Amino acid sequence: MDVLSVTITLLLLIPGGTRVETLPIQPGASILPNGSPSCWPSRSGHFAFGFYPHGANTFVVAIWLSCGNNKTVVWTARRDDPPVTSDAKLQLTMDGKLVLFDEQGTEKAIAEKASAKASCAFMLDNGNFVLYNNNSDIIWQSFDYPTDTLLGNQSLFNGHQLVSNSLQNNHSSGRFCLKMQHDGYLRLYPVDTTDSTLDAYWTAYTSKPPSFGFRTRLDLNETGLLQINNGSDGYFWYLVDDLSLPNDGSTIIYRATLNYDGIFRLYAHFTNGSIQTVKSWPGEESGCLVNSFCGFNSYCTFIDTQPVCTCLPGYDFIYPNEPTLGCKRTFQKEGCSREKASAAVYEMKLLSNIVWEDTPYFRDTMSRDACSSTCLADCRCEAAFYDGETESCKKARLPLRYLRRKMENNRFDDDKTGSLFLKVANRTPPEQPPPIKTTSNRATMQIIVLTSVFSLLLCSTLVISSHYMYKIRVLKYKRLMETGNFGLNEEVTLRRFSYSELKRATNNFKQELGKGSFGAVYKGELHKGRRLIAVKRLEKLVEDGERSSKQK
Q: What HEC string does 393-407 produce?
A: EEEECCCCCCEEECC
β-partners of residue 46 are none
Q: Confirm or deny that 536 is annotated as ligand binding.
A: yes
What does each C-alpha distance from 515 to 260, 534, 539 come to in angstroms?
Answer: 115, 12, 10
**Distance set, CA 461 to CA 175, 226, 448, 455, 468 (Å):** 68, 90, 20, 10, 11
Start-to-end CA distance of the chain, whole Å, equals 106
Long-range contacts of 480-486 (CB under 8 A, 24+ apart): 483/527, 484/526, 484/527, 485/527
Distance between CA atoms of residues 501 and 101, nearest Å = 83
Dist CA 216 CA 209 (whole Å): 9
Nearest to 228 by CA among 320, 166, 156, 318: 156
Q: What distances in angstroms separate CA 53 from CA 64, 85, 223, 475, one per listed residue?
A: 11, 10, 30, 78
Task: Centre a 10 Å sphere on the Cβ of residue 63 and count the other Cβ atoms it contains.
Answer: 25
Question: In this structure, are residues 76 and 110 in contact, taking their beta carbons and an 8 Å threshold?
Answer: no
The binding site comprises 536
The binding site for ATP comprises 536
